[in-house]
Amino acid sequence: MKFDQKFPDADEGFEPKDLLVFKSSKEQPCAMCKENTSWINLCFEANVCSEECLDALWKEYNDCCVRDE
Ligand SMILES: [Zn+2]
Protein backbone atom coordinates (compact mmCIF):
# COMPACT_ATOMS: atom_id res chain seq x y z
CA MET A 1 0.00 0.00 0.00
CA LYS A 2 1.17 3.53 -0.77
CA PHE A 3 2.24 5.46 2.31
CA ASP A 4 0.08 8.35 1.11
CA GLN A 5 -2.94 6.03 1.28
CA LYS A 6 -1.86 4.40 4.52
CA PHE A 7 -1.21 7.74 6.25
CA PRO A 8 -3.43 10.26 4.43
CA ASP A 9 -3.29 12.78 7.27
CA ALA A 10 0.46 12.62 7.83
CA ASP A 11 2.18 15.94 8.36
CA GLU A 12 5.66 16.76 7.18
CA GLY A 13 8.17 14.98 9.41
CA PHE A 14 5.70 12.27 10.43
CA GLU A 15 7.38 8.94 11.20
CA PRO A 16 5.12 5.90 11.35
CA LYS A 17 6.22 3.43 13.99
CA ASP A 18 8.61 0.62 12.98
CA LEU A 19 8.75 1.49 9.28
CA LEU A 20 11.87 3.67 9.33
CA VAL A 21 10.29 6.16 6.97
CA PHE A 22 9.27 9.78 7.35
CA LYS A 23 7.37 12.28 5.27
CA SER A 24 9.54 15.04 3.83
CA SER A 25 8.53 18.40 2.42
CA LYS A 26 9.38 17.72 -1.20
CA GLU A 27 8.54 14.98 -3.64
CA GLN A 28 11.21 12.96 -5.40
CA PRO A 29 11.08 9.77 -7.46
CA CYS A 30 10.74 6.54 -5.53
CA ALA A 31 13.99 4.54 -5.52
CA MET A 32 12.16 1.47 -6.78
CA CYS A 33 9.29 2.47 -9.06
CA LYS A 34 10.26 6.10 -9.85
CA GLU A 35 6.88 7.46 -8.90
CA ASN A 36 7.10 10.82 -7.12
CA THR A 37 6.74 10.53 -3.37
CA SER A 38 7.55 12.65 -0.34
CA TRP A 39 8.25 9.59 1.84
CA ILE A 40 11.89 8.85 2.63
CA ASN A 41 13.46 5.83 4.24
CA LEU A 42 15.62 6.86 7.21
CA CYS A 43 18.06 4.02 6.84
CA PHE A 44 18.89 4.40 3.15
CA GLU A 45 17.90 8.05 2.79
CA ALA A 46 16.09 6.93 -0.34
CA ASN A 47 12.59 7.87 -1.43
CA VAL A 48 10.04 5.08 -1.17
CA CYS A 49 6.36 5.45 -2.04
CA SER A 50 4.84 2.28 -0.62
CA GLU A 51 5.24 -0.72 1.65
CA GLU A 52 5.94 -2.86 -1.41
CA CYS A 53 8.76 -0.60 -2.57
CA LEU A 54 10.13 -0.46 0.95
CA ASP A 55 10.18 -4.27 1.09
CA ALA A 56 11.96 -4.40 -2.24
CA LEU A 57 14.48 -1.85 -1.03
CA TRP A 58 15.14 -3.89 2.11
CA LYS A 59 15.74 -6.97 0.00
CA GLU A 60 18.22 -5.10 -2.16
CA TYR A 61 20.09 -3.72 0.82
CA ASN A 62 19.41 -6.36 3.42
CA ASP A 63 22.66 -5.73 5.22
CA CYS A 64 22.09 -2.01 5.71
CA CYS A 65 21.71 -0.94 9.35
CA VAL A 66 23.25 -4.24 10.40
CA ARG A 67 26.79 -3.61 9.27
CA ASP A 68 28.70 -1.52 11.75
CA GLU A 69 31.11 0.22 9.45
ZN1 LIG B 1 7.62 3.08 -5.32
Q: 66 CA to middle of ligand 1, Å?
A: 23
Q: pLDDT for 4-47, tens place per residue?
A: 999 999 999 999 988 999 999 999 999 999 999 999 999 889 99
Q: 54 CA to middle of ligand 1, Å?
A: 8
Domain coordinates in residue numbering, the chain: 3-60
Q: How confident is the model at residue 66 (pLDDT cuts 50, 70, 90)?
A: low
Q: 33 CA to middle of ligand 1, Å?
A: 4
Q: 68 CA to middle of ligand 1, Å?
A: 28
Q: How far apart are CA 66 and CA 29, in angstroms?
A: 26
Q: Closest Cα partner for 50 from 10, 4, 11?
A: 4
Q: How far apart are CA 37 and CA 2, in angstroms?
A: 9
Q: 22 CA to middle of ligand 1, Å?
A: 14
